[in-house]
Structure 1
């Protein structure tokens, strides 16, 4: 008697993964808009110190791209120099500013630019994830 083996179609699994990836990116974009609005609100409400802190911290995570700049000519297109990867990944972890935000919320002394800065940092991370930029492998390439 012959046995018939059927393979499960891969298309539904790929479609499910693509839908999940799209949903995650939409969620990250919604978070990015939220953190941007909160950072701008803090900047408007508390003046130039908060606005400057929000802007600086929104740009600061990408300063890690300059680490290992001398190695850049020897890297492939889209590859971050391996020496810069730990700094880049650390600056792009959402848990770091979220933990600092929790400490800020519980601290008895508050300074408005801190909240604006953390919101700017979270906005940067969220926009990166929404547009498909995430943590890097140790070799410097985008994951997955």
Structure 2
């Protein structure tokens, strides 16, 4: 049996080195494999794409960062306005507004688990699904929960917080949050 390291794939076909059991597949000499590999490799002068002056170390900045925060503020405003019309009173809103932040408890199990639990509670996917289900099924409790959830996420995004990467709590999709630590 020949392992995957003994051949090369070119345009959907696998070519095996000469002398190996090719089982009906095309065979190439060692030199041919090296030439194919050279043809499919990136040019020597290739460099990473220029992400622009608004991206610094993978973090958004400038107008894009402002736009992301404005989107969060709009989500918060829309959810609060809809809650004023369809919600169950401001006491309930205040009581449950910070409920998604209970997902921080996932960080007690480690950064990967923490990021998954935080992202589940701070993604619009769950909040909008809950809101849509409430609207479609005429369940006011789901509408209320969905609106509070959307408001919370919008609030966080307006402040610059985002979905977390498992590499660390401060690493979010809009960029690093908090003060950057310096060595020494």
Q: Which has the higher strand share?
A: 2
CA contact (8 A) 1:64 1:84 kept: yes
Q: 1:26 and 2:70 equivalent?
A: yes
CA contact (8 A) 1:85 1:138 kept: yes
CA contact (8 A) 2:132 2:143 kept: no
Asked which structure has the greater CA Rg, the reply is 2
Q: Root-mean-square deviation (CA), in Å?
A: 2.8
Q: 1:70 to 1:138 in 2, by over 3 A?
A: closer
Q: 1:47 to 1:57 in 2, by over 3 A?
A: closer
Distance in 2 separating the partners of 1:68 and 1:15: 31
Aligned residues: 118
CA deviations over 1:30-71 (Å, ceiling 9, x no partner): 22122123224434xx458xx52x344421110011234487
Gaps of 5+ in 1: 1-9, 72-80
Gaps of 5+ in 2: 1-49, 56-60, 176-184
CA contact (8 A) 2:127 2:150 kept: yes
CA deviations over 1:74-110 (Å, ceiling 9, x no partner): xxxxxxx443211111000101111222222222xx2
RCO comparison, higher one (Cα < 8 Å, 6+): 1
Distance in 1 separating the partners of 2:77 and 2:164: 24
CA contact (8 A) 1:38 1:116 kept: no
1:59-74 correspondence runs (5 A):
59-69=98-108
Query: Which residue number in structure 1 is paired with residue 82 of structure 2?
Result: 38
Distance in 1 separating the partners of 2:95 and 2:168: 25
Q: 1:116 and 2:155 equivalent?
A: no
